[in-house]
A and B are shown apart, each in its own frame.
Chain A
Amino acid sequence: MNDTIQQNKLALFTEHLTLSNLAFSSDLKEEALTVLATNDFPTTRQEDWKYTRVGRIASIKAIQNQQNSSISLPEMIDDSMLLFVFENGRFRADLSLSTLPAGIKIKALSSCNSDELSLVGSLVKQENQVFTALNTAFATDGILIHIERNQKISSSIHVLNILSGENTASFTRNLIVCEDFGQAHIVQEYRSQEANSSVTNVITEIFVGANANLTVDKIQHEEQGNFAVLTEQVDQKKDSTFTINTITLDGTLVRNNLNIEVNGSNCESNLNGAYLLKDNQHIDNHTIVDHKVAHCLSNELYKGVIYDKATAVFNGKVFVRKDAQKINAFQSNGNVLMSDDASVNSKPELEIYADDVKCSHGSTTGQLDDEAIFYLRARGLSEKAARNLMVSAFIGDVLEKIENPSVLKMVQSIIQKKHGWEF
Chain B
Amino acid sequence: MISIKNLHASIDGKEILKGLNLEVKAGEIHAIMGPNGAGKSTLASVLAGREEYEVTEGSVDFDGQDLLELSTEDRAREGLFLAFQYPVEIPGVSNVNFLRTALNEIREYRGQEQISAKDFMALVREKSAIVELDAKLASRSVNEGFSGGEKKRNEIFQMAMLAPKLAILDETDSGLDIDALRIVANGVNTLKSPNNATIVITHYQRLLDYIVPDFVHVLYNGKIVKSGPKELALELEEKGYDWIKAEVDAQ
Direct A–B contact present (CB less than 8 angstroms): no
Interface residues of B (CB under 8 A from A): none
Interface residues of A (CB under 8 A from B): none
